[in-house]
Amino acid sequence: MSSRASLVAVLSIGALGLGAPVAAQAVDDARLVQAAPAEWLGYGRDYAETHYSPLTQINAGNVATLGVAWTWDIPKSGSRLEATPIVADGVIYATGARSFVFALDARTGEKLWHWDPAIPDEAEGGPSVCCGDVNRGVAVYGDKVFVGLLDGKLVALDRASGVVAWTVQTTPTGTDYSITMAPRVVKGNVIIGNSGAEYGVRGYVSAYDAETGDMKWRWYTVPGNPADGFENDAMRVAAATWTGEWWVVGGGGTVWDGMAYDPILDLIYIGTGNGAPWNRDQRSPGGGDNLYLSSIVALRGDTGEYVWHYQTTPGDDWDFTAVQPLMLLDLVIDGRQRAVITQAPKNGFFYVIDRITGEFISAEGFADQITWATGVDQETGRPIETPQARYGQTGRGVYLSPGPTGAHNWWPMSWNPSTGLVYLPMQNTSFYYVQAPVQYRRGQWNTGTGRGAAGVERPELIGPRAALKAWNPATNTQAWVVPATAGNGGTLSTGGNLVFWGSGDRMIALNASSGAELWSHQVGQGLATPVSYELDGRQYVTVMGGVGTGPTGPKVWTFRLP
Residues forming the active site: 319
Closest among 100, 208, 86, 91 to 138, alpha carbons compared: 86
Amino acid letter for position 57: Q
Strand ranges in 428-511 using DSSP code E only, listed in sequence order = 431-433, 466-472, 477-483, 488-494, 498-503, 506-511
Numbers of helices and strands, H then E, in the chain: 5, 39
Which pairing describes strands 538-545 and 555-560: parallel, antiparallel, or unpaired?
antiparallel
474: number of Cβ within 10 Å:
17
In the 8-state DSSP scheme, what is residue 227? G
Question: Can you list the alpha helix ranges (DSSP code H) found in 375-463?
Answer: 391-394
Are 361 and 352 in contact by the 8 Å Cβ rule? The answer is yes
* Cis check: omega of the bond before 269, within 30 degrees of 0: no
Measured CA distances, 108 to 68, 322, 342, 544, 558 (Å):
11, 38, 37, 15, 9
Residue 228: phi and psi, rounded to 5, are -90, 0
Backbone φ and ψ for 539, nearest 5 degrees, come out as -90, 140
Phi then psi for residue 283, to 5 deg, are -85, -25
Non-local CB neighbours of 540 within 8 Å, separated by 6+ positions: 69, 106, 532, 533, 534, 558, 559, 560
Q: Which residues contact 501 (CB under 8 A, 6 or more apart)?
A: 423, 425, 468, 488, 489, 490, 491, 492, 507, 508, 510
E strands, 120-212, where? 139-141, 144-148, 153-158, 164-169, 184-186, 189-192, 204-209
Q: Which residues contact 324 (CB under 8 A, 6 or more apart)?
A: 257, 258, 271, 343, 344, 345, 346, 406, 408, 409, 410
How many CB atoms neighbour CB 17 within 10 A?
A: 7
Question: What is the DSSP track for 499-533?
Answer: EEEEETTEEEEEETTT--EEEEEE--SS----EEE
